[in-house]
Structure 1
């Protein structure tokens, strides 16, 4: 009996589920036949490249016998159905419900990249017709030989033999052809419907391509004339003369390279048919090793080697390993090769090739069944191979899961710049014991993140600051295409606010002209700032945390690049940043890097991803220019813009004063690409709320910070102050509630994360989420602010932790003073500690129960039945003490970060303590 993998079942089940269900991007396929042409091709060709009489023997091949058995499942035939029964059932499906067949065969495919040059529109469905079967739009792969042949047919289609006698005819035709070809390729480069290009030169004259463009241009003259003569006299336009085919490939590579706007960008990929094909192909010259010199000559064009290059998989794997711009496609061998052969091909692919360089494809063509068989067979064989590697401890289960996601989806999504996203809720595993596996040994499994790239050159006003060479592969530092795409859509931007929040949540910035910002990104530089700046207060007072010796290197995260609003004094954009040290690794103090490390821990060690959505509560104030007598409320330095209001109302006062402001803000957010789900009035005077959509945590916080800036700046342009102060007036409580969803959803993990982790460490977490003395003015009972008791409840707004629904929780003890990166990091740290504390597969019953009522209304004995025995910190000093003594939570952040944070807060408290109450409140409102 074959032995089972040594991993516990939950891990194996998780891996199985991901392999069988994770959506895929098919990086190379072809159109389906129109019903009128579906009988023009023998159906048995789905498992063989043989043609004519040779195809008759396919019925006795392993690929065919296996596919025939699997097609019984597709067509819901009996287990003993023979080939004729399968064909009969297939004909019935095509007659009665073809849409069902198409949908079933392409199910699980998120998007298709389609080489639509294999046949004309009179034979097959248009590429975008296939969108009905996929989640995301189909993109085109432009076959360059088809483009060239169509152009030639248009140029010489009406020519006669007499035209060939004119001395200038060949020259004129050449000029017309090359001009038209260049224009077509350039147009395709700009076309958002085109993901890349493909050459079938392997079929025409082989992969032994002349690597020099100059030589190819010299050699093409006479062969082109012979080709033109054949086009005119025989009306045959297929290009199959080596010199001309070589020239087309090289000219395409030249055009792709010339279209790039900066030295570090990569062009749209060029796919090469390699290896497996019908007997049109020269097997010897289908070996991709012939391409090595060509690959070296065009380092800025990604080469995609199609069809596993079978039987030359190892040669293709070598090229994909040693050249950063070469990728290995593992299509067509599914279902054209037997199971053992497929497994050997995948094994050979993984011998050398990094998982980030392997792309899935079906090579689906003509028949929908080709898509289905390729998808099914790949997942079966891939799972077998991964389980073998996991069993041998070559991979952890989570590494195998992430390798699967890369091969099926991420690699193509990145290479072709598709920017597709997956709703992970659609692929949640239905597993009773879904908590991630941990080894039974004393060593905890951990994920080793890839090393950070070498640091780019530093730029600083300090002449003594050392500079560092840029990394050898700039794409590892900045994704230049993100900046290019942004600037194409936002050409008006002239400046960039390069921003980072410090420990106290103060947003620091340098403003760069766009030309300088582009230069920094293109050359791989970072911006050097004094390390002391990370430890200064809002008034630039240096604390014990600030070290005046040393540098922090600010690295813009181009994923956060976003336009400001139209009323900004500068035509500008904002970008959030990481802090790096001199070696290019995350600086331990960096709030974003601390959060990112915990997100990676959650993803790779626990198989969990998150969505985070924020509610922005804000109070709009106007300055009081007419103070009266002492003690009069009108003596306040700030007054609310509206006072005749309640939650969800729109009084005439609000309609005339607030609504125009709210509209301007919402439009400004939309212009910046920030979508507001809704906005409404809150209970406090001048208080309103904007609700942002759920996003991955890092992106959600970036958007929150940028949205707050827009709210503040639009208000300032109207001579108003927008504040996120948690208690701008005595009876006004302003929060910054965060909704956090765990994916995939599991009641056991929910409880372990939020109740066993977050709630258990909430007193210490409050040091980050409620970081100021003023934060605790709104922590009270009977006011829907989250209450004072350490408790949780389903839809209970009198608890600091509200379960909205299974998998989605709201953290209510959070306000606008918090550095949100550190606050969410603390919450995640507590949650991960909860996951670690729960034995795998155990049915832990937590002492803290779901409280269905306001805890403050219960007696002490009643609260005890719900496990409610203590309160949240009542003062910020209590939260500081809780954090100081919670060594576990402190250990979830980089070494010393929690202590530095506390030292900063205490220094700030001393500074604020020297202010009178009114002065302090005004000072805080002006800054938050």
Structure 2
């Protein structure tokens, strides 16, 4: 059984014991056992800390449909799994145990999901709708196949808003890089950085972007799984800071027309070798694995012939339409892509330092995937990128010459222009589709297909503004 392999994995018992030491030392009273749904929502259960060892060994049970937000389609049918389905087991991953810096009585731990031991089919097997465990599997398979590993760094843009006369408005003015506007968000920045460091994020830089209230705070790159965990953690931090300051943390990709949207650029590099290093982030309130980063080794993009970088770009460009369904997962996402000229990519080009392209060589040792936005599920996004890069390296794909001109003024294959088109591209791409096996794919596409269907069936103010006086 997969569940027994996980429970008996080397070092896991030590991790459970270390968590107990933190519980006792820090006075932790309650623990969130959390995981991430296919849409990127954090769900789970809470347990009194006195029951840590019991839950670490037996897990907590939740309905299978929780991986799909326990959502129903327009016809009222549950998506992903029906109400008759069994319950999954969420088993804590002790390497992710951390005290919450804003309330020391609470800790959080990520979980891996398994089928119940009483299931008639595949009892105790890894739950195929678990996006986090799926990424861990793909990450290991990629390294075994190529002898190298991918490292990812993200640029999570989002907006800080306040309610003013019933409307949401930016806390600051839309002046890019303006230190005075950055200063307006000083308390947001300082709290986010402090909470981030306490939860294992090596915060490295930040700036005010060019939309109202738009802030980007970056943390150091790492392997895909740890980076995805940290992006989810960063989003939770933003929600908490917003609660404390009476603000609204907004992750919409395109909240305001006429201003740039919120991207989540993924910076990729391919490495040979390296080792885990526990970084001193000024805190000892979390498991060592939370502070651990992959470091050292040789960046293969720096090789003289540039083959690994070329084939990495070739793989991503070849699968851009399907990757867009994971990078831009909402109806609102495509308002960002359609507002041409405001930094978001619109065509499937790549270039050197060309910010209008979908893929940019931002430095000799890294490339930037610019399609992803602020609502992407980082586990699914990284899974899709691993699959595309794997295909590029395996088939030695070449993306052709780089684009030097503005992609906004250059003819070329366009990225999908709406969620429905992107989902169709994903369905037609065997490589990227295979990165979401079984129920992970069917649940994601069912949820997103229903979202697109609901949007098409919804009457809005636009309909009245456009058609009220259409005839006679």
Q: TM-score range, shorter-chain basis?
A: 0.7 to 0.9
Q: Distance in 2 between matches of 1:478 and 1:877?
A: 47
2:265 corresponds in structure 1 to 737
1:540-689 to 2 correspondence within 5 Å?
Answer: 542-548=77-83, 549-566=85-102, 568=103, 571-582=105-116, 583-624=123-164, 626-627=165-166, 636=167, 638-643=168-173, 645-651=174-180, 655=183, 657-689=184-216
Q: Distance in 2 between matches of 1:478 and 1:900?
A: 35
Which structure has more strand as a fraction of its residues?
Answer: 2
Q: 1:234-284: per-residue Cα shift (whole Å, max 9, x none)? A: xxxxxxxxxxxxxxxxxxxxxxxxxxxxxxxxxxxxxxxxxxxxxxxxxxx
1:112-151 to 2 correspondence within 5 Å?
Answer: none
Q: Distance in 2 between matches of 1:517 and 1:642?
A: 43
1:535·1:547 contact (CA, 8 Å) conserved in 2? Answer: no
Match of 2:264, SS?
Answer: coil
- Give, in angstroms, the shift of residue 476 of structure 1: 5.6
2:72·2:78 contact (CA, 8 Å) conserved in 1? Answer: no
1:453·1:477 contact (CA, 8 Å) conserved in 2? Answer: no
2:217 corresponds in structure 1 to 690
Match of 2:438, SS?
Answer: coil
Match of 1:677, SS?
Answer: strand
Correspondence for 1:535 among 50, 64, 68: 68
Q: Distance in 1 between matches of 2:71 and 2:439?
A: 21
Q: Are 1:894 and 2:424 matched, yes or no?
A: no
2:348·2:415 contact (CA, 8 Å) conserved in 1? Answer: yes
Q: Are 1:454 and 2:4 matched, yes or no?
A: yes
CA RMSD of superposed structures (Å): 2.6
1:171-182 to 2 correspondence within 5 Å?
Answer: none
**Aligned length in residues:** 420
Quick one: structure 1 residues 654 and 828, their matched pair in 2 at CA, closer, same or farther if it must change by over 3 Å? closer
Q: Are 1:856 and 2:415 matched, yes or no?
A: no
Match of 1:479, SS?
Answer: helix
2:323 corresponds in structure 1 to 765
Q: Distance in 1 between matches of 2:111 and 2:170?
A: 34
Q: Distance in 2 between matches of 1:500 and 1:907?
A: 23
Q: Are 1:883 and 2:426 matched, yes or no?
A: yes
Q: Distance in 2 between matches of 1:485 and 1:735?
A: 40
Higher relative contact order (CA 8 A, sep 6+): 2
- Give, in angstroms, the shift of residue 792 of structure 1: 0.9
2:308 corresponds in structure 1 to 749
1:775 corresponds in structure 2 to 333
Flag structure 1 segments of 5+ consecutive residues without an equivalent. 1-450, 457-470, 628-635, 839-843, 861-868, 920-928
Quick one: structure 1 residues 607 and 721, their matched pair in 2 at CA, closer, same or farther if it must change by over 3 Å? same
Q: 1:596-646: per-residue Cα shift (whole Å, max 9, x none)? A: 12111211111111221111211011123x35xxxxxxxx3x111122x41
Correspondence for 1:831 among 389, 397, 421: 389
Q: 1:721-755: per-residue Cα shift (whole Å, max 9, x none)? A: 11111111113311111111110314212222231
Q: Distance in 2 between matches of 1:830 and 1:820?
A: 15
1:649·1:681 contact (CA, 8 Å) conserved in 2? Answer: yes
2:38·2:440 contact (CA, 8 Å) conserved in 1? Answer: no
Q: Output the TM-score relative to the length of structure 2.
A: 0.82
Quick one: structure 1 residues 916 and 492, their matched pair in 2 at CA, closer, same or farther if it must change by over 3 Å? farther
Q: Are 1:526 and 2:59 matched, yes or no?
A: yes
Q: Distance in 2 between matches of 1:916 and 1:483?
A: 51
Q: Distance in 1 between matches of 2:455 and 2:417?
A: 19
- Give, in angstroms, the shift of residue 915 of structure 1: 5.3
Quick one: structure 1 residues 837 and 605, their matched pair in 2 at CA, closer, same or farther if it must change by over 3 Å? same
Give 1 or 2 for the bigger CA radius of gyration: 1
Match of 2:388, SS?
Answer: helix
- Give, in angstroms, the shift of residue 912 of structure 1: 5.0
Q: Distance in 1 between matches of 2:235 and 2:79?
A: 30
Q: 1:428-482: per-residue Cα shift (whole Å, max 9, x none)? A: xxxxxxxxxxxxxxxxxxxxxxx735289xxxxxxxxxxxxxx678956773244
- Give, in angstroms, the shift of residue 539 of structure 1: 8.0
1:714 corresponds in structure 2 to 241
- Give, in angstroms, the shift of residue 690 of structure 1: 0.2
Q: Output the TM-score relative to the length of structure 1.
A: 0.43
1:908 corresponds in structure 2 to 451
Q: Distance in 1 between matches of 2:71 and 2:82?
A: 16
Match of 2:231, SS?
Answer: helix
Flag structure 2 segments of 5+ consecutive residues without an equivalent. 117-122, 273-299, 463-472
Match of 2:240, SS?
Answer: helix
Q: Distance in 2 between matches of 1:476 and 1:491?
A: 21
Q: Distance in 1 between matches of 2:459 and 2:205?
A: 38
Which structure has more helix as a fraction of its residues?
Answer: 1
1:491 corresponds in structure 2 to 26
- Give, in angstroms, the shift of residue 837 of structure 1: 1.6
Q: Which segment drifts farther, 534-543 or 597-606?
A: 534-543
Q: Which segment drifts farther, 594-603 or 846-855?
A: 846-855
